[in-house]
Chains A and B, each alone.
Chain A
Amino acid sequence: MLQLENLSFQVADESDSRKEIIKNLNLTIDNHRFIVITGPNGGGKSTLAKLIMGIEKPTGGRILFNGQDITELSITERAKCGISFAFQQPVRFKGIKVKDLITLAAGDALSTAGACEYLSKVGLCARDYINRDVDASLSGGELKRIEIATVLARNTALSVFDEPEAGIDLWSFNNLIKVFEDLHDIDSDRSLIIISHQERILNIADEIVVIADGQVKAQGRRENILPELLQDTGSCRFYQEVQ
């Protein structure tokens, strides 16, 4: 489904020298995969997610989606190809209602009942939220759940979630796990990429990819990678930090 070939991303740092955030990274993600990307802070995970969605443009390499080279495609074009993205820190809008945002995500006229269904899935009482503005009156956790609901409404082949657990309380967390499991079960082609440090999310992955220093340090089935991560407490404490 998704192939990242020799992907690089450099930025100019303060002294105007180039800093490599992603270094010649290669990664292939097959259909119907539940991938969790983990690794230490500053290792390049969020940048990688943004490169997949087109929010950042790589300085080298190619991105193929279902065989098509999408490296030069805009965010909009990638969205239309079937990629969706949940932001780590969702934005607020003055004057755009929760229902408006979910309807835009669904891409066509959506009944109130349809919009409510997505909100219920992320544990929000639809009646209380559907007509509220996506503005500063919502808490961080509420906003985060609405963000996830917009990705559900998009119903795309590939969904990328950047740290979906950040700001989510314990009760919602169980709900969140179920959302991901359901999403994975719907059909045979859909794949999920979740950037996470959370052991409970790592626990439901098919595959774990460890990214550090802009490169893939390990990739494999959960049962092979997770024990190794848990053992290696000296260098890999990141996955337990949020416990």
Chain B
Amino acid sequence: MDAIQKELLEQVAGLHEMPAGAYNIRANGEAVARSTTAHIDIVTKTDKSGIDIVIKPGTKKESVHIPVVLSQSGLTEMVYNDFYIGDDCDVTIVAGCGIHNSGDQMSKHDGIHTFYIGKNSHVKYVEKHYGSGEGTGERIMNPETVVELQENSFMELETVQIRGVDSTRRSTRATLADGAKIIVTEKLMTHGKQYAETSFDVDLNGEGSSANVISRAVARDDSRQLFLAKINGNNRCVGHSECDAIIMDNAKISAVPEITANHLDAELIHEAAIGKIAGEQIVKLMTLGLTEAQAEAQIVNGFLK
């Protein structure tokens, strides 16, 4: 890998070198490095582009890194990654995509990640998106995440997109069985003329299942954002979605929370708030000696931390 690819890798997966545990690193459409462990296997798909990640039942305290980097302008790809996680596992999966586009052609990475999470398993899934490069070609990412949570399993899903992605449509769909739980934390900042759309669609099918979808977003310059969160309570369950957004400059933000109770004991809540940075917050930080720009940066960084 070259220096640009290494920089992308650090941004999206926090990696300076090859990680411990299982990994598959994809650069410009090719697998450049792969490692498996006694409990985690990674197999290249034969019918389409992508990999199967198979985690044996009972695997604990192990991690899988599957970052993707694109540095060739004009490259577009569609990848299918399927995760088969056995019962009673406790694993961390770090994905993420970085695009460096120094040319004038569009670079695009679309991916569908499907998770089959076994009974009583805990999965922490972290996905970061990042774009760089001085070219005029667009950097586009459209990630789709599909999750099937079996009885009493638990998924923590963290997504971060802070800079450099011109257009993104993120779709996350989850179905939960009895006692299953999902917590989604999204952090998003758009700038320039970027567009970002995120949609969450959660079916709480199981008795005692729960979902918490929390989004913190900042839209600046002329960027636009659309946040959609749909939670269906189909059993005795608890669902909560929260979109908290800061709007700046000429940006536009829409938040469309939707909750549907199809069962008497479904408890569902949605919250959505959009507003500019409060002037009094900036004034307070200025009385501590920060300039207006420093105060604004401090507030935005804290909000997205």
Interface residues of A (CB under 8 A from B): 53, 55, 74-76, 79-80, 84-85, 87, 90-91, 93-96, 100-101, 104-105, 107, 150, 154
8 Å CB interface, B237-280 against A: 244, 278, 280
Across the two chains, which residue of chain A brings its CB closest to B289? A79
Tell me whether B286 is interfacial, beta carbon within 8 Å.
yes
Most buried by A among B244, B283, B304: B283
Q: Contact check, B286 vs A104: say whether CB atoms are below 8 A apart.
A: no
Contact A85 B303 (CB under 8 A): no
Question: In the complex, which residues of chain B have a beta carbon less than 8 angstroms from the beta carbon of A90?
Answer: 284
Other-chain residue from B216, B280, B289, B298 in contact with A76 (beta carbon distance below 8 A): B289
Q: Assess whether B287 is interfacial by the CB under 8 Å rule.
A: yes
**Does B302 lie within 8 Å of A76, measured CB to CB?**
no
Q: Smallest CB–CB gap between B151 and chain A, Å?
A: 34
B77 at the interface (CB under 8 A from A): no
Interface residues of B (CB under 8 A from A): 216, 244, 278, 280-281, 283-292, 298-299, 301-305
CA distance A87 to B290 in the complex (A): 16
* Cα(A232)–Cα(B211), bound, Å: 63
Q: Given the known A-B contacts A55-B283, A91-B280, are A96 and B289 also in contact in the complex, defined by CB atoms under 8 Å?
A: no
Given contacts A94-B302, A94-B303, A100-B302, contact A154 B288 (CB under 8 A): yes
Given A91-B278, A91-B280, A94-B244, are A79 and B287 also a contact pair (CB < 8 Å)? yes
Q: Which of B285, B301, B303 has the most CB of A within 10 A?
A: B285
B292 CB contacts on chain A under 8 angstroms: 76
Q: Are A76 and B281 in contact (CB under 8 A)?
A: no
Closest residue of chain B to A106 (Cβ to Cβ) is B288
Please name 30 pairs of A and B residues whose Cβ atoms are closer than 8 Å in the assembled complex, sorted by A. A53-B287, A55-B287, A74-B286, A79-B286, A79-B287, A80-B289, A85-B287, A87-B280, A87-B284, A91-B278, A91-B284, A93-B281, A94-B302, A95-B216, A95-B301, A95-B303, A95-B304, A95-B305, A96-B298, A96-B299, A100-B302, A101-B288, A104-B285, A104-B288, A104-B289, A104-B290, A104-B298, A107-B288, A107-B289, A154-B289
Q: Chain B nearest CB: distance from A17 CB in Å?
A: 26
Q: A93 to B300, alpha carbons, bound, how many Å?
A: 10
Which of chain A's residues have a CB closer than 8 A to the CB of B303?
Answer: 94-95
Question: In this complex, what residue of A is CB-closest to B279?
Answer: A91
Which residues on B sit within 8 Å (CB–CB) of A105? 288
Q: Taking the nearest CB of chain B, how far is it from the CB of A5, in angstroms?
A: 23
Question: A32 → chain B, closest Cβ, in Å?
Answer: 22
Residues of A within 8 A of B301 (CB): 95
B7 to chain A, nearest CB (A): 27
Q: How far is the CA of A154 from the CA of B286 in the complex (A)?
A: 12
Task: Write out the residue numbers on chain B whose beta carbons fall within 8 Å of the beta carbon of A150.
Answer: 288
Known: A76-B290, A101-B288, A104-B289. 18 other contacts (CB 8 A): A53-B287, A55-B283, A74-B286, A75-B287, A76-B286, A79-B287, A87-B280, A87-B284, A90-B284, A91-B284, A95-B302, A95-B305, A96-B298, A104-B285, A104-B288, A104-B290, A105-B288, A154-B289
B302 touches A96 (CB 8 A): yes
**Which A residues are CB-close (under 8 A) to B285?**
104
The distance in angstroms between the C-alpha atoms of A101 and B304, with both chains bound, is 16
Q: 5 nearest interchain CB pairs?
A: A95-B302, A75-B286, A96-B302, A79-B289, A95-B303
Chain B residues lying within 8 Å of A100, measured Cβ to Cβ, are 302
In the complex with contacts A80-B289, A107-B289, A75-B283 CB distance below 8 A: yes
